[in-house]
């Protein structure tokens, strides 16, 4: 069993918020892409997005654009969306279904869904040409509990090694068996790290989220992951059998056979660098981030339910979805306000409260990663 500590039991002595450049500098943002987003495992979304051969989604992060597709053998691939001839973008639609091949719209170089170059018009006109030398470039890809992850590094650390603290931690929620019932998209004018920091504390909950604090005490947080790339723990649901929803009641059947403790808790985890995982008794909420600029982040928020929920007329998933859409927008608004504030040359790093101990831990890991890859 995990050992949990109250949020305020964790030291923040001497810890301050990040320096201004971390939130506003284009140069820092570019270094983050090279040192973090091209090195770490990134969550793309649910495996169900590419459930059948030929289904694909595009995943864009910085200048990198991937075609995440299931090939004819059933293997999920992450193909760079760049033709090996003149570099032309191959696919434009954000998602869709491909036939047997991917063809470049410029000169009709044609690739298999596994990335192999299959055909080139007038190949005899290219000196010493061998199709085997020009497959589409690929990123590493793996799946975990129904999620797809990619890694853009040339020699990425094995997923099972990096994610060892999480691999079996959430098994009792049966995440792979859950169904995406709703998806929300947000374009937030704030740095991605401000969003992580906001999620990591409930110091702000009483003044910002009155609907949330009615259902879950902002001081109930206890954490079992308190250092490194994965951080978080649980907060309690106040009403017995209640849920975080507009009505305060469960909006789905239990996602799995959970313990009495788990049925009265919501677990919140940050998964560095682009995923937030919120495990409720009756649904799971997942945020995935795509940083677009120092002051802009695209967020996808998905709600996963047990399939039986979607067959029940007496249960309304939107009861939970609309609740979190309201809370999300409250958070994003504060993060955007903070972004405008830290842009000022008058901003100086401020001290963290012990109620923000996970923010301090997130910043510490961020600094370590940035410095270790100089």
CB–CB of 102/119 below 8 Å?
A: no
Task: Transcribe 118-176 into DSSP letters.
Answer: EE-TTGGGSTT--GGG-PPPB-EEEEETTEEEEE-SSSPPPHHHHTTTTTTTTGGG-GG
- Nearest CA to 89 among 70, 102, 78, 99? 102
Fold of 42-159: Rieske Iron-sulfur Protein (2.102.10)
DSSP 3-state assignment of 219? coil
- Nearest CA to 66 among 133, 147, 150, 132? 150
**Cα 264 to Cα 76, 170, 215, 324, 328, distances in angstroms:** 36, 16, 11, 18, 22
CA separation for the pair 300, 330 (Å, rounded)? 16
**Cα 372 to Cα 257, 360, 368, distances in angstroms:** 42, 18, 6
CA separation for the pair 351, 124 (Å, rounded)? 67
Q: What's the distance, CA 81 to chain centroid?
A: 21
CB–CB of 233/225 below 8 Å?
A: yes
Based on C-alpha coordinates, what's the Rg of the chain? 22
Fold of 5-37+170-372: Naphthalene 1,2-dioxygenase Alpha Subunit; Chain A, domain 1 (3.90.380)
How many helices, marked H, and strands, marked E, lie in the chain? Answer: 8, 18
Residues of the chain with pLDDT under 50: none
- Nearest CA to 208 among 87, 372, 328? 328
Query: Do you know the residue count of the chain?
Result: 374
Evaluate if pTM is beyond 0.85. yes
Q: How many CA atoms lie within 13 A of 125 on its CB side?
A: 3
Domain boundaries, the chain: 5-37+170-372, 42-159
- What are 129-187's pLDDT values in tens digits? 999 999 999 999 999 999 999 999 999 999 999 999 999 999 999 999 999 999 999 99
Token pair recorded at residue 325: 């859409």
**Cα 150 to Cα 55, 68, 197, distances in angstroms:** 17, 9, 24
């Amino acid at each position: 069993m995990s050992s949990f500590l109250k949020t305020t039991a964790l030291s923040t002595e001497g810890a301050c918020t990040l320096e201004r450049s971390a939130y506003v500098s284009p140069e820092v943002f570019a270094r983050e892409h090279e040192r973090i987003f091209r090195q770490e495992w990134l969550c793309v979304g649910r495996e169900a997005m590419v459930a059948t051969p030929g289904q694909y989604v595009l995943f864009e992060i910085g200048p990198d654009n991937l075609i995440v597709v299931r090939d004819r053998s059933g293997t999920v691939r992450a193909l760079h969306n760049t033709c090996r001839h003149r570099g032309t973008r191959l696919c434009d639609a954000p998602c869709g279904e491909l036939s047997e091949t991917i063809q470049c719209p410029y000169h009709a170089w044609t690739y298999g869904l596994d990335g192999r170059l299959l055909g080139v018009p007038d190949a005899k006109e290219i000196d010493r040409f061998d199709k085997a030398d020009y497959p589409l470039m690929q990123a590493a890809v793996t799946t975990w509990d129904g999620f797809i992850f990619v890694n853009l590094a040339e020699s990425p650390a094995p997923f099972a090694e990096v994610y060892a603290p999480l691999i079996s931690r959430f098994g009792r929620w049966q995440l792979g068996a859950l169904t995406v019932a709703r998806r929300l998209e947000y374009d937030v004018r704030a740095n991605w790290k401000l969003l992580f920091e906001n999620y990591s504390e409930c110091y702000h909950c009483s003044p910002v989220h009155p609907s949330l604090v009615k259902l879950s005490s902002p001081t109930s947080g206890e954490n079992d992951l308190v250092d490194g790339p994965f951080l978080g723990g649980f907060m309690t649901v106040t009403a017995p059998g209640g849920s975080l929803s507009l009505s305060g009641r469960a909006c789905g059947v239990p996602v799995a056979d959970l313990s009495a403790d788990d049925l009265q808790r919501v677990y919140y985890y940050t998964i560095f660098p682009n995923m937030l995982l919120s495990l409720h008794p009756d649904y799971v909420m997942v945020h995935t981030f795509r940083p677009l600029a120092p002051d802009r982040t695209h967020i996808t928020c998905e709600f996963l339910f047990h399939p039986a929920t979607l067959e029940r007329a007496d249960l309304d998933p939107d009861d939970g979805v609309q609740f979190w859409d309201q809370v999300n927008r409250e958070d994003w608004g504060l993060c955007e306000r903070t972004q405008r504030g830290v842009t000022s040359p008058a901003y100086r790093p401020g001290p963290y409260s012990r109620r923000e101990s996970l923010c301090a831990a997130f910043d510490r890991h961020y600094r370590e990663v940035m410095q270790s890859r100089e």
